[in-house]
Structure 1
Amino acid sequence: MVWMMRRCKELGLVLAALALAWPAVAQAQSCSRSISMATGRWEPYAYYDAAMHFTGIDADMVRAIFKEADCQLIELDYKPATRNMTLFEQGDIDLMSGASRTPERLKLAHFSQPYRDETIGLFALAQQAEHFRAIRSFPDFLAAPVSLVAPRAGWYGPVFEREAAALRGAGRLSRFGDFAQGIHMLAAGRVSLMLGDAAAVEHAAVRAGVQVQPLPFWVVQAPVHLMFNRATVPQADVERIDAAIVRLQRRGVLERIRRSYGGQ
């Protein structure tokens, strides 16, 4: 009898502890639904390796963030960046990574906490960089009689966005679909300079065996975010993912992913 009373008392303590813990457990809900992510080719952030496995800095960071948040991520099949953006605007894609926060995009998207930084610059072939030493700002570039190749998709700062149409009209701006194509155009002498994310330009240049050098200023240095479709992803899910980003940043997980791809 004493033994049974002791066991009942112990069981009661366990149940009481579980009852106290229950509110915390109940609050730890996963995302309301699975979230689909656009994929594409943007080395070293997001690309398909030789085995057609989707990989890269952003791919690994997003997987880590969703695992930490206990949310289900669906990685869609490859589509070009411009097609992904169209599908996102139509509500057929929930998430795009590596996004800059702009007033126009806020009309259709939620943005996460920043999860990494980006650096956008102008690059010349290393053997020709001396010819452009007088270009020390984007206004200097606008005043110089030189041509530029830039990515077809993405946002590269307010000054470039404002001047892009005029540069195109003057025959000074060409576009590329992927960074390997941009490097090829630069190396072939079809343009004088290349605009792009520093890590992506340098990665593509190494792959192509081409030496490039950045001009002595950056067009943009800013944080980037995960961009969620307002029509398909609730704000509560974004807040849950934000909390996961903060925890991973505090533990240094996202920085370790970035450095695993050769960053300094």
Structure 2
Amino acid sequence: MPLRTLIALLLCAPLLATAGCTRALHVPFEDWRPYSFIDANGRHTGLETELLAAVAQAAGCRVSYVRGVPRNRRMPMLAAGELDLLIAATPVPTDQAWYTRPYREEVFGAFMRASEAQQEARSMDDLLRARLRLVTHRGPVSVPVINDFNAQGLLTWFEDYAKGVQLMALRRGDVLLGDSVAIAHAARAAGVSLVELPFDVVRGPVTYKLSRKSMSEAQLKAFDQAIQRLEAQGELQRIRNRWLAASAKPR
């Protein structure tokens, strides 16, 4: 590690120690395998769970997961300070929340049944022109072409990835769109043979989204510094590698 970087990180340490939280942060729980789930021993685990635990601890905070929060209630609750943090957020202009620096990359892909995969397709527009039915997640990521499938009556929504894979197995759709790692994990768990098409629909960094109502700018800085320090130490990469290697899939 360059000496200049090491000195900067050491100077950050007092700030991280003093900008901690006076109570546990309220974060909504979602069964989103392999990112966040309850294992066979009743332990909350997953890629996102481990990343947030490491970052929060380095920032002087603890995490308390809140169950049963509908997806459409999360942003209003964050704005009201009833939730403190949302994971895997894509920054958009808002005066209700702060965004940390990125802590991992997110990739959305398109999957088809192995026996029908159109490997020559190079975009979602190619699939739309073929009039294939799209199955996709009711989530925060907006992909404009989804509206085009909807306008042509070629769209089916699902609420969780296991359901999306089931819809593909039942032939209720031709193309499954969503988080590549989550889809590959759900397909393996269900024994459904799906193939990811050779293009990314969305690829970009995600951040933590912090409530302006319940959290301070000092805490935002503490999270940013924690992410920076853990990246420099290689800890976040070790967590990502461990989970993503276990979820690796052929393209």
Alignment-mate amino acid for residue 77 of structure 1: R
**Is 1:36 the equivalent of 2:18?**
no
**Is 1:94 the equivalent of 2:72?**
no
Q: Separation in 1 of the partners of 2:15 and 2:173?
A: 58
Q: Which has the higher Rg, Structure 1 or Structure 2? A: 1
Q: Separation in 2 of the partners of 1:184 and 1:26?
A: 48
Instruction: Provide, for residues 106-138 of structure 1, a one-character-per-residue CA deviation record: whole Å limited to 9, x for no partner.
Output: 332211111011111111111211xx2342112
Instruction: Provide, for residues 120-164 of structure 1, a one-character-per-residue CA deviation record: whole Å limited to 9, x for no partner.
Output: 1111111211xx2342112223322011111112214xxx2x343
Alignment-mate amino acid for residue 215 of structure 1: L
- Equivalent pairs counted in the alignment come to 233
Q: Name the structure where helix makes up a greater proportion of residues.
A: 1
Q: Separation in 2 of the partners of 1:151 and 1:81?
A: 12
Alignment-mate amino acid for residue 50 of structure 2: D
> Equivalent residue of 1:110, what SS?
strand
Q: Separation in 1 of the partners of 2:128 and 2:174?
A: 13
Alignment-mate amino acid for residue 40 of structure 2: A
Q: Separation in 1 of the partners of 2:79 and 2:14?
A: 36
1:239-250 paired onto structure 2 within 5 Å: 239-250=221-232
Instruction: Provide, for residues 195-252 of structure 1, a one-character-per-residue CA deviation record: whole Å limited to 9, x for no partner.
Output: 1111000000110011211111101110111111122211210111110111111111
Q: Aligned in 2, Cα 1:213/1:26: closer, same or farther, shift over 3 Å?
A: closer
- Structure 2 unaligned blocks of 5 or more: 1-12
> Equivalent residue of 2:156, what SS?
strand
Q: Separation in 2 of the partners of 1:256 and 1:27?
A: 22
Following TM superposition, the consecutive aligned residue runs of length 4 or more in structure 1 with deviations greater than 4 angstroms are 24-27
Match for residue 54 of structure 1? 44
**Is 1:138 the equivalent of 2:124?**
yes
Q: Aligned in 2, Cα 1:86/1:191: closer, same or farther, shift over 3 Å?
A: farther
Identical residues among aligned pairs (%):
32
Given the two structures, how large is their TM-score scaled by the length of structure 2? 0.85
Match for residue 97 of structure 2? 109
